[in-house]
Amino acid sequence: MKIALAQLNYHVGNFESNTAKIIDHIHQAEKLGADLIVFAELCVCGYPSRDFLEFNEYISLCEDAAQKIAAECRQIACIIGLPTVNTNPEGKDLNNSAYFIEQGQVKAIVNKALLPNYDIFDEYRYFEPSTTFKCIDFKGYRIALTICEDLWNTIENPLYITRPMDMLITEQPDVMINIAASPFAYNHDEERINILKDNASRYQLPLFYVNHVGAQTELIFDGGSLVFDRNGALIDELPYFAESVSYYQLDKQSAVVPMQPVTTRTKKDSDIAQIHQALILGIRDYFNKSGFKTATLGLSGGIDSAVVCALAAEALGPENVMAVLLPSRFSSDHSIKDAEDLVKNLDCKSELVPISGITEAFENTLKPQFNNLPFNIAEENIQSRSRAVVLMALCNKFGYILLNTSNKSEAAVGYGTLYGDMCGGISVIGDVYKTQVFELAKYLNRDREIIPINTIIKPPSAELRPNQKDTDSLPEYDILDPILAQYIEYRCSPAEIIKMGYDGDTVRRVLRLVNLAEHKRYQTPPILRVSPKAFGMGRRMPIVGKYLS
Give the tens place of pLDDT for each residue, 501-527. 999 999 999 999 999 999 999 999 999
What is the distance between the terminal CA atoms of the chain, rounded to a whole angstrom? 60
Q: Is the confidence at residue 264, as pLDDT, over 80?
A: no
DSSP letter for each residue of 253-304: T--EEESS-----SSPPPHHHHHHHHHHHHHHHHHHHHT---EEEE--SSHH
- Per the prediction, the chain carries an average pLDDT of 95
Q: What is the mean pLDDT of residues 335-341?
A: 92
Q: What is the mean pLDDT of residues 240-259?
A: 93
Sign of CA dihedral 331, 335, 339, 341: positive
Window from 100-114, 323-337, 375-389 with minimum mean pLDDT: 323-337
189 burial via Cβ count (<10 Å: 0-12, 13-18, 19+): buried
Instruction: Name the pLDDT band for 464 (thresholds 50, 70, 90).
Output: low
Name the active-site residue from 2, 45, 78, 112. 112
Tens digits of residue pLDDT in 162-214: 899 999 999 999 999 999 999 999 999 999 999 999 999 999 999 999 999 99
Question: Does the annotation mark 148 as catalytic?
Answer: yes
pLDDT of residue 332: 67
- What are the structural domains of the chain? 2-264 (3.60.110.10), 275-470 (3.40.50.620)
Sheet holding 207-210, edge to edge: 136-138, 141-147, 175-179, 207-210, 226-228, 234-237
Task: Of 273, 217, 265, 213, give the one whose Cα is nearest residue 242.
Answer: 213
Instruction: Name the pLDDT band for 268 (thresholds 50, 70, 90).
Output: confident
Instruction: Name the pLDDT band for 432 (thresholds 50, 70, 90).
Output: very high
Query: Which amino acid belongs to residue 102?
Result: E
Tens digits of residue pLDDT in 227-237: 999 999 999 99
Q: Is the confidence at residue 462, as pLDDT, over 70?
A: no
In DSSP terms, 137 is beta-bridged to 142
Cα–Cα distance measured from residue 95 to residue 425, given in angstroms and rounded to the nearest whole number: 33
Q: What is the mean pLDDT of residues 265-283?
A: 92
pLDDT of residue 472: 77
pLDDT of residue 2: 98
Name the active-site residue from 2, 21, 30, 41. 41
Q: What is the mean pLDDT of residues 40-44?
A: 98
What values do phi and psi take at 55, rounded to 5? -95, 125
Name the active-site residue from 45, 148, 309, 395. 148
Tens digits of residue pLDDT in 61-84: 999 999 999 999 999 999 999 999
Question: Does the annotation mark 252 as catalytic?
Answer: no
Neighbouring C-beta atoms of residue 126, cutoff 10 Å = 20
pLDDT of residue 473: 78
Q: Is the confidence at residue 41, as pLDDT, over 70?
A: yes
Q: Is the confidence at residue 463, as pLDDT, over 80?
A: no
Query: Which amino acid belongs to residue 522?
Result: Y
Tens digits of residue pLDDT in 413-429: 999 999 999 999 999 99
What values do phi and psi take at 20, rounded to 5? -60, -40
374 burial via Cβ count (<10 Å: 0-12, 13-18, 19+): exposed
* Cβ neighbours for 56, distance < 8 A, ≥ 6 positions apart: none
Q: What is the mean pLDDT of residues 382-386?
A: 95
Q: What is the mean pLDDT of residues 136-149?
A: 97
How far are the Cα atoms of 166, 187, 193 from residue 198, in angstroms, in the given order? 13, 18, 8
pLDDT of residue 458: 87
Task: Give counts: helices (H), strands (E), the chain.
Answer: 17, 20
Q: Is the confidence at residue 260, as pLDDT, over 70?
A: yes
Q: Is the confidence at residue 266, as pLDDT, over 70?
A: no
Instruction: Name the pLDDT band for 328 (thresholds 50, 70, 90).
Output: confident
Question: Does the annotation mark 90 as catalytic?
Answer: no
Q: What percent of the chain has pLDDT over 90?
A: 89
Q: What is the mean pLDDT of residues 407-415?
A: 96
